[in-house]
Chains A and B, each alone.
Chain A
Amino acid sequence: MDNNLGIYICSGCDIGKSLNVERLVNTAKDSNKPLVCMSHEFLCGPEGINLIKNDISEKKINKLVIAACSMRAKQDVFNFDPLTIHTERVNLREHVIWISPPNDNNTQLLAEDYINMGAVRAKKSAFPEPLIQDLNKTVLVVGGGVTGLNAAINSAKAGYDVVLVEKKSNLGGFPYSKYKKWETKPPFDKNIWIKEGLDELINQVENSKKIKIYKNSKIKSVSGAPGKFNVEIEPSAEGNNAEAAVSETIGSIVVATGWKPYEAKKLDYLGYGLTSDILTNIELEELYSELSENGKSESFTVKRKSNGDAVKSIAFIQCAGSRDENHLPYCSTVCCMSSLKEAALIRKNNPDTNVYIIYKDIRTPGEYENFYRKMQDDEGIFMVKGVVSGVSYDKGNNIIDLKVKDTLFGGDIDLNVEMMVLASGMVPNSGDVECNQDVNLTVDNPPSASGASCPPSIPVSTAQVAKSGLLNLTYRQGKEMPDLAYGFPDSNFICFPYESRRTGIYPAGSVRMPLDTVFSVDDAKGAALKAVQCVEQTSKGKAVHPRSNDTTYPFFDLPRCTQCKRCTEECPFGAIDEDEKGTPKYNPERCRRCGVCMGACPVRIISFKNYSPDIGASMIKSLYIPEDPTDENYRILVFACENDAYPALDILGLNKMNLSSNIRVIPVRCLGSINNVWYTDALSKGIDGILLLGCKFGDDYQCHFVKGSELASYRMVNLKETLTRLVLEEERIRQIQLEFTDYMKLPEIVEDFVNKIKSLGPNPYKGF
């Protein structure tokens, strides 16, 4: 590959006023031997861009160093074909002149170092070779309930083939054999027949030429990667006359396995089991279905199970198990509407019945409020805010005694009712926990936190409980989707609800979060979009979120691999499997290009075309380290996360706030991609301190690569041994968890660290 380097230094936006640009041009020439090196007063203007374009066509410049503003500005004009031109942006504006004193030797040295690092990176970078492939684009939908049916039909309508797997003999899921649901469109204020629209949907799915349906079936295993998944489908326990196991090639997967009711026997503290007149909400739904002869009859009388008499009083107990740290710590979201719906049905069929709804908070979001308002107008419905403190059964009178405390207006009340309904919550069908250990679902200790039942291989907070039985992935990191909390494999990212830690596999509906059927429809469509988008992007050789459009991916120089398994363990997305010996088997289609594997590898065999341990090390080596131990000669290397810390430094610049000129910033894909060799290279070169600026970690982690910033912190443990060996203080390396908007704190953070380093004195290796 030819390295025809062109260095273009912009003197606009006061760069020329603050720096000696002529000297910059001369030092850049001396240090980097470019084919072209020049300055221009308005490089992003039409004349400047034309200059560069002419050099590209006439002088065959293919490695551009644009020393001007931030890589986040003017991307639209400094825009050259990435497959044939490497464009390296050197940030002389936001990261040099806007934060440092003008016409100062230290500011000049800062600019020189940045240009040299940029030139080295440009020279060392190769062009991306996108992995363009013909891939299978069939969508596998697991689960044939409301979410699954909608995911299937909507993928088909978008033009994609679909394979739908349902464990039961019929499609339709939970509502299939029930009675009524609340209206699915505004004004949401009445009940409608539960199968309204459902039979038609099932019909559409069953008759679609694009959808292949496996009923009575479940997933035996999923191997491979997006666009080339091999899915083994086998008969489910429910299916006695299902076909034999078959395999399908699949592009991407929507997991719509829904929910199951919270175990009724665990609700004995609310009287479940005392009498047949204490039901769960599911049992009441079944009763309605039975009484209505599966919807054939609109009018029926609800009778007590114990004696067959018409019910005259009934209490609904909300949050039976939900919002309770000893049971389900979360709110199951649908139970308030469910109980209101069920109360309305009782009032319609047994008009003399008094209905008590005992609640903590009534949660009817949005226009669902219309339903609640209507029910509040019903004089036979009594809304009782309070907590059930005791339930007993008076056998002689066949009456349920209910004690409620903390009610409105202070007092405790006693209620006698003939029937009682427990609004039990939703539990996601996200696989069965392995290891035969109870997972403690408390607020403080969601199962995704470290210390969960199975010892995690990596001591970071995002380690997972081992599960199986649903997708049965043949992935090295486990058989099921990692949970976010409470068994829900939900996205951790507010801005990106479909962020999945298993590329190409998207959970939807109530397996992902407690959702009703109305919002499950949208959720199914959203997940289906992500599923088809994943294979479309991947087939073009592009990464999916969050590095969408990135065409680079890591190469593994396997002959040098020592089978230490760090990359296969630490990949946040489970993209790397391993063979019997522990040699990594990398799946580019599952990869998100964060570089965590590159950071993990102790023998540095993993590298991207434009990002590698060698490139980083060479950039560090290009820095000028003055030997004279004066204050301004301290050198602090800063590794800054490209997504948050680097922009924060830009915003600092836009606000013209001062920052120490002792620092040299290297942007990284993620702190998790920092290879320890960079620390030792920097310290042996004489760098006095190293500062890591990256995302927050822990339960509310902000790292878009899940655990990159946390891994960086974890790897410091190994690093401390290295520092001890070098007889260097461990305080010379510090990691700061920084948010985008923390830019105002940066001057203090940096100054504090610089002062710490000054108190330790210069790096003794300086000059060696």
Chain B
Amino acid sequence: MTILEVTGLRKTYTTRFGGNKVEALKNVNFSVNQGEYVAIMGESGSGKTTLLNILAALDKPTAGSVILDGQDLTKINQAKAAAFRRNNLGFVFQEFNLLDTFTLEDNIYLPLVLAGKSYGEMSQRLAPIAEQLGISGLLKKYPYEVSGGQKQRAAVARAIITHPKLVLADEPTGALDSKATDELLRLFSAINQGGETILMVTHSVKAASQAKRVLFIKDGEVFHQIYRGDATSEQLYQKISDTLTMLATGGEGR
């Protein structure tokens, strides 16, 4: 079942001085099925961040549509967008984006509190998630007291505690060391196996090689995609590397 359908997405920026137009996204089309784990790769400036902002309803496209579970994101107004994000999307950012005035526990509760849930329900929901993410003992700590990996796990907990239709991850391993990266990627796979749909934007071949499908964006278009199929992570890693090399050397392929 298709949960996300992106068609003919275009985004043009006008620079502040003069009328120079920059086309961040030209024509993006792809779809994601329920329970999928998709990685989007591309170089800096390829339009990844723009795409993610549009998927997150933080930005509006110039043309095209994004349909999440039957609802067109591009038609939602600003006031409703926040509630929509809260109820349907979970976010994991490179810089964790935890509020330093909250304990990890309160940071994780934030979206639920905004949705008006009671404390009893929230703590009931948190227990298994904290267990799975291995942060049960850290809940009363403040962000500045824990490591980057631990912060990111708390951020993942915050993203999935609302049972979102789609988890958007923006370079989730970008600020982590290799050990924490491995740990986080393992958790992502586990969460995906638990039924969550994940869309991850990344630079890291290692991170992408854990996904079930990898999309490549170049110059504002989906340029290529690789399905994992029966391949192991190592084989996928190799395939991705080859594709990236080809992209960099400017080969024509599809």
Chain A complexes with chain B: no
Residues of chain B whose beta carbon lies under 8 Å from any beta carbon of chain A: none
Residues of chain A whose beta carbon lies under 8 Å from any beta carbon of chain B: none
